[in-house]
Chains A and B, each alone.
Chain A
Amino acid sequence: MSSTSQGAPRSPMAAPRSFLWARRIFLTLLTGFVLLPVYVMVSSSLKPLQDVSGTFRWLPSGLTIRPYIDIWSTVPLADYFVNSVIVAGAATVCSVVIAVFAAYAVSRYRFRGKRVFTVTVLSTQMFPGILFLLPLFLIYVNIGNATGIALFGSRGGLILTYLTFSLPFSIWMLIGYFDSVPRDLDEAAMVDGCGPLGALFRVVVPAAIPGIVAVAVYAFMTAWGEVLFASVMTNDTTRTLAVGLQGYATQTEVYWNQVMAASLVVSVPVVAGFLLLQRYLVAGLTAGAVK
């Protein structure tokens, strides 16, 4: 898969006019559809309040950066931000490390129960979150009562939950990626005196960096955007952005310009990161999931 250049031209033939026109029209309409909310988000975040309270205006009556200043005081956005960074960051790191170990075991060893393991882990993707939300909440409360480790309402509980959300997909993708790293490489490393773990970290992991980056991006986005568990499992001090952003909408008046500004602010880190690393994600998908 690495031999074919990215996006190789389909055919040596020139595309017919019908194809070119269809492409032009289709892509133009689609771009409009995709960009419309983005435009609304950006333009509304720079409008004074009366512009977003009255009839919609395509162009602002005047530009203002007030919303970007006010968002931090209307709700404790900075606290939510910190919570989200900690939760999503920790969940990503843990998820990637655990997935690397598991994928290495599945990719390189034969052992009893391998198929059961992969099928079980993958099938957890299918469970509707709503099915285990209440039991998980009770488990966390009970663990807290029994051991004193606060999982419910804490960042730790949320980290634990989120990392298992991205784990199945991460393991699956990394298995495919590790399989594509030639076995001769880690065997050579083991001949040179590395243990199996040495071979994993010195040979397999460096060779699979694109796949690992892709998995990390996926894990971070999953944790950053999750709403259901965040809405039940956090309290005032551990609230993440997913829930906190709704704070602007529960006021007697909705400050839509602030809502849009806050949405933009929380989106920029993930969107920028994603767009920078999307190449890896495509490469990772090509090697792993979609073979």
Chain B
Amino acid sequence: MTTTTATAKTDGRTESAGSTPGAARGPRRPGRIRRIGLPYLLLLPALVLELLVHLVPMVMGILMSFKALTRFSIRDWGAAPWSGFDNYKISVDFNAPAGEALLHSFWVTCGFTVLSVGLCWLLGTATAIFLQDTFRGRGLLRALFLVPYALPVYAAVITWAFMFQHDNGLVNHVLHDQLGLTDKPSFWLIGDNSFIALLTVSVWKGWPFAFLVVMAGLQNIPKELYEAAALDGAGMWQQIRRITLPSLAPVNQVLVLVLFLWTFNDFNTPYVLFGKAAPEAADLISIHVYQTTFATWNFGTGSAMSVLLLLFLLVVTGGYLLLTSRRRKTADV
């Protein structure tokens, strides 16, 4: 993933597998074919499954996006007529209802993703740093904080859905009945508030992963760095700013990307929270495409939208990796 890892790994490999005399300490296996064939044989199951479940369907999905499909022709989709870029035209015609709705859903998803990833990262990093020193109750807190991550999505989200109920939910009871902050009980699962509800659940569910990864990353920072900084008179806050945070850069590069992809593609949270039809304010792209595909049987248009989504993710991921890798390289020098 990162430049440092790559070099470290190649070094280790050339050392033992290189053709230099050093290789003599490795045993010479008889049978060249066996030696060459074995790694491929070991990879075969993984490769076949990934092909079957991910790559072949993806190619199929791309083909389907160029076809005119109805709920009747879907069973024999290969024979359905080609329709050129019609499905794409419908998807990106932002003046027509379908395109307009897709664009709206895209912006909602972008806003949701930025806020959710940002908050998850912030909470996860802060907590990992606060839990770095040993103190009483640290182990307990660590286990406790991982509970949202360990809970099955649907169990956690159903509980939140209960808390957000209009008549018998905890949120309205606290905000309206007990604190009197709202004039009347609000609706959280329909209307504009649903965005806040979705964001809350998403952050609650997602931040422990950031915590887990940053916690693992912290353990790889050499203690000597802190000792040296302490000798130089750097205080706790300064050590965090000057040593901890910069040292986490490689971890963050991967973490933020993974969080971004998961959040942007999230289907489970809105699906369990709102049911099949998400309110407009929280109409995430996965739900939107699912709706287009399965509720209205626009299979071709649904496929075209998924392909556009994939292209967008590819561009963002590629750009992100390029940008962060370059910045880290210049920072290293």
Instruction: Given contact pairs A10-B226, A282-B215, enumerate 7 new A-B contacts (beta carbons under 8 Å).
Output: A34-B144, A55-B168, A128-B310, A132-B58, A263-B158, A286-B220, A289-B216
Q: How far is the CB of A286 from chain B (nearest CB, A)?
A: 4
* B46, B131, B293 pick with most chain A CB within 10 angstroms: B46
Whether A161 is near chain B, meaning CB under 8 Å from some CB there, is: yes
18 contacts between A and B (CB under 8 A): A8-B219, A10-B239, A13-B236, A16-B235, A18-B237, A41-B159, A117-B47, A128-B264, A129-B267, A130-B265, A130-B286, A131-B58, A187-B16, A187-B26, A187-B27, A241-B154, A256-B165, A285-B213
Q: How far is the CB of A113 from chain B (nearest CB, A)?
A: 8
With contact pairs A37-B160, A227-B272 given, residues A191 and B146 touching in the complex (Cβ less than 8 Å): no
Whether B151 is near chain A, meaning CB under 8 Å from some CB there, is: yes
Q: Which of B32-40, B87-95, B97-105, B190-198 contacts A (4 or more CB under 8 A)?
A: B32-40
Whether B281 is near chain A, meaning CB under 8 Å from some CB there, is: no
* A199-230 contacts to B (CB < 8 Å): 221, 224-228
Whether A68 is near chain B, meaning CB under 8 Å from some CB there, is: no
Q: How far is the CB of B72 from chain A (nearest CB, A)?
A: 14
Whether B123 is near chain A, meaning CB under 8 Å from some CB there, is: yes
Contact partner, A260, options B159, B222, B237, B317, Cβ 8 Å: B159
Do B219 and A179 touch across chains, with their CB atoms under 8 A apart?
Answer: no
Which B residues are in CB contact (< 8 Å) with A126? Answer: 261, 310, 313-314, 317
Whether B256 is near chain A, meaning CB under 8 Å from some CB there, is: no
* A120, A128, A256 pick with most chain B CB within 10 angstroms: A128
Do B159 and A225 touch across chains, with their CB atoms under 8 A apart?
Answer: no
Whether A52 is near chain B, meaning CB under 8 Å from some CB there, is: yes
Chain A 127-161 per-residue mask, 1 if CB under 8 angstroms from chain B, else 0: 11111111110110100000000000000000011
With contact pairs A12-B230, A129-B265 given, residues A6 and B220 touching in the complex (Cβ less than 8 Å): no
Query: Closest 8 CB pairs between A and B?
Result: A132-B57, A135-B57, A274-B150, A135-B60, A105-B42, A56-B173, A131-B306, A285-B216
Do A134 and B64 touch across chains, with their CB atoms under 8 A apart?
Answer: yes
Do B267 and A227 touch across chains, with their CB atoms under 8 A apart?
Answer: yes
Contact partner, B309, options A8, A128, A231, A264, Cβ 8 Å: A128
Contact partner, A290, options B38, B216, B236, Cβ 8 Å: B216
Q: How far is the CB of B175 from chain A (nearest CB, A)?
A: 11
Do A105 and B38 touch across chains, with their CB atoms under 8 A apart?
Answer: yes
Whether A40 is near chain B, meaning CB under 8 Å from some CB there, is: yes
Whether B295 is near chain A, meaning CB under 8 Å from some CB there, is: no
Whether B163 is near chain A, meaning CB under 8 Å from some CB there, is: yes
Which B residues are in CB contact (< 8 Å) with A171? Answer: 46
Q: Which of B6-14, B110-118, B323-331 contacts A (4 or more CB under 8 A)?
A: B6-14
Q: Which residue of B lies closest to A84 (CB)?
A: B152
Which B residues are in CB contact (< 8 Å) with A249? Answer: 158
Do B220 and A290 touch across chains, with their CB atoms under 8 A apart?
Answer: yes
Which B residues are in CB contact (< 8 Å) with A34? Answer: 144-145, 147-148, 204
Contact partner, B162, options A9, A102, A260, Cβ 8 Å: A260
Which A residues are in CB contact (< 8 Å) with B271? Answer: 227-228, 231
* A8, A124, A242, A275 pick with most chain B CB within 10 angstroms: A8
Do B126 and A271 touch across chains, with their CB atoms under 8 A apart?
Answer: no
Do B236 and A16 touch across chains, with their CB atoms under 8 A apart?
Answer: yes
With contact pairs A171-B46, A285-B213 given, residues A56 and B54 touching in the complex (Cβ less than 8 Å): no
B residues with a Cβ closer than 8 A to A are 2, 4-5, 8-9, 12-13, 16-17, 25-27, 29, 36, 38-40, 42-43, 45-47, 49-50, 52-58, 60-61, 64, 74-75, 77, 123, 126-127, 130-134, 138, 141-156, 158-160, 162-163, 165, 167-170, 172-173, 177, 204, 212-213, 215-217, 219-220, 222-223, 226-227, 229-230, 235-237, 239, 244, 250-251, 254, 258, 261, 264-265, 267-268, 271-272, 285-286, 289-290, 293-294, 299, 302-303, 306-307, 309-310, 313-314, 317
Q: How far is the CB of B45 from chain A (nearest CB, A)?
A: 5
CA distance A267 to B156 in the complex (A): 9
Contact partner, B154, options A26, A30, A227, Cβ 8 Å: A227
Whether A86 is near chain B, meaning CB under 8 Å from some CB there, is: no
A residues with a Cβ closer than 8 A to B are 1, 4, 6-13, 15-16, 18-19, 22-23, 26-27, 30-31, 33-38, 40-41, 44, 52-56, 98-99, 101-102, 104-106, 108-111, 114, 117, 120-121, 124-136, 138-139, 141, 160-161, 163-164, 167-168, 171, 176, 179, 183, 187, 190-191, 196, 221, 224-228, 231-232, 241-242, 245-246, 249, 256, 259-260, 263-264, 266-267, 270-271, 274-275, 278, 281-282, 285-286, 289-291
Do B147 and A271 touch across chains, with their CB atoms under 8 A apart?
Answer: yes
* Binding site secondary structure of chain B: helix
Contact partner, A7, options B123, B134, B227, Cβ 8 Å: B134
Which B residues are in CB contact (< 8 Å) with A190? Answer: 26-27, 29
Do A290 and B213 touch across chains, with their CB atoms under 8 A apart?
Answer: yes
Which B residues are in CB contact (< 8 Å) with A275? Answer: 143, 146-147, 150
Do A263 and B168 touch across chains, with their CB atoms under 8 A apart?
Answer: no
Contact partner, A131, options B52, B126, B138, B309, Cβ 8 Å: B309
Which A residues are in CB contact (< 8 Å) with B306? Answer: 128, 130-131
Q: How far is the CB of A143 from chain B (nearest CB, A)?
A: 9
Q: How far is the CB of A127 from chain B (nearest CB, A)?
A: 6
Do A289 and B254 touch across chains, with their CB atoms under 8 A apart?
Answer: yes
